[in-house]
């Protein structure tokens, strides 16, 4: 299953339309909180269970999305963070629809 369309909706959600005609919506805050890059994974491992993130506008604003082969997308955020590679299965897992 591959994305046929990827777009930001209402400056709050990433919407992905898939080749099987399903649609996934992911809150940008959830996407950023679950960034799979090594730095973010390490940071999450150090946090307590009571951690509650407060993101700036720049941390939740996408500047670029690139499809990587047949398995993932990379995302660049306005604050300069751009090392996360989000596999398609992972995106479906964290979606709200």
Mean pLDDT of 79-83: 96
Distance set, CA 63 to CA 2, 22, 60, 78, 81 (Å): 21, 25, 10, 6, 10
23 Cβ partners below 8 Å, 6+ apart?
A: 15, 16, 17, 97
- This prediction's pTM: 0.90
Q: Could you report the per-residue pLDDT of 44-75, keeping only the tens digit for each?
A: 888 888 888 889 999 999 999 999 999 999 99
Delineate the domains of the chain, giving CATH numbers in brackets: 3-94 (3.30.2020.30)
């Amino acid at each position: 299953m591959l994305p046929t369309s990827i777009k930001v909706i209402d400056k709050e959600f990433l919407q992905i339309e898939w080749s099987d005609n399903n649609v996934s919506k992911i809150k940008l805050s959830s996407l950023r909180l679950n960034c799979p890059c090594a730095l973010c994974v390490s940071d999450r491992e150090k946090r307590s269970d009571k951690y509650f993130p407060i993101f700036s506008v720049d941390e939740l604003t996408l500047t670029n999305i690139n499809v990587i082969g047949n398995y993932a997308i990379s995302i660049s955020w306005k604050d300069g963070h751009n090392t996360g590679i989000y596999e398609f299965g992972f995106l479906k897992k964290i979606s709200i629809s």
